[in-house]
Amino acid sequence: MVLNPGSVGQSLDGDPRASYAVVEDGVAEIRRVEYDVEETAAGIRGMGLAGDLTDALIGILRTGKPCAGPGPGQAG
């Protein structure tokens, strides 16, 4: 069996809680836990990344959804 639950803190299914997988008795289950998103966001801000990237990463953490790409006529 191969199980890859993805990144613990960047869920993209609309649930911003951290997620991880557990396999017990051959049954896989995704579990969720709350964490301090704003503390993580502050750490991202302190990394010195470009503003758009910082905003996109923090948006994903807060909403649990992928950020929308550039609109029509916008560079991307």
Do the beta carbons of residue 70 and residue 76 sit within 8 Å?
A: yes
Residue 15, amino acid: D
* DSSP, residue by residue, 27-50: EEEEEEE---HHHHHHHHHTTT--
Q: Torsion angle, CA of 20/3/60/46, rounded to 10 degrees? A: 70
pLDDT computed for residue 76 by the predictor: 45
Model pTM above 0.75: no
pLDDT computed for residue 19 by the predictor: 86
- pLDDT tens, residue order, the chain (76 aa): 667 766 776 888 899 998 888 889 989 898 899 999 999 999 999 999 999 999 999 999 999 998 765 545 545 4
